[in-house]
Amino acid sequence: MLDVMKTKTAVVAGVVFLLASGTAIVTERMAPNVPFQQESMTRVDQAKKWALACILFTDAHAGQLPKDFGQLRAFDPNDGLSDSNWEIVPSGDVNSITNPGQTILLREKAARKSPRDGFLKVYAFADGHVDRLWAPDDNFTTLEKKRGLLAQTSKN
C-alpha cells in the first residue's frame, strides 16, 4: 500500500513539474508580448464564464437566451465578472439555433491591436467553445461573414 502511495505521489509530482516547465516555455516565448497575452487569456477566461452563465440562464428560463448582462448577474459564476468589454449577440430561444458551433453567443465589443500586426477579438459560441479571432484590420464584420459565423437574432 505504501508503494502505491509513493507511486501516485511521484506521478503527481511529475505532472506538476511538466506543467510548470510548459508554462515557463510558453511564458518565455511570449515575453515581448506578455501584457497583451495576459489580457487575451483574461478575456478568454471571462468569455468562458459568461458562456457558462448564458447556458445556466437558458436552463432556468425554458431555453430563452438572456437579452442583457443584467439578466445574467444571478448566474455569474464569480459574482462580479465584468461585462464592460462584452456584447451579447443572439436573443430568443436557444432551441432555434441550428448551428451552435458557428453561432456567436457573445464577443468583445472592441478589437484589440495585436503586437504582431492586426487585431484580435475573443468570441464565445452557442455550443460553449471560445475562440480568439485575428483580422488584418479592424473589420470583424467581414471576417465573421468569411468564416460563416452567425449572429442570430430573436425568433420568439
pLDDT in tens, 63-86: 999 988 888 888 876 666 788 889
Report the amino acid identity of residue 87: E
Provide the residue range defining the domain that includes 54.
34-146
Residue 35: how many CB atoms within 10 A of its CB? 10
Any domain includes 20: no
Domain count, the chain: 1
Any domain includes 151: no
Query: Residue 75's pLDDT is what?
Result: 80
Question: How much of the chain exceeds pLDDT 70, in percent?
Answer: 74
Find the helix packing angle between 34-60 and 2-30, rounded to 10°.
120
Any domain includes 69: yes
| The residue to which cell 511570449 is assigned | 30
pTM greater than the 0.75 cutoff:
no
Any domain includes 127: yes
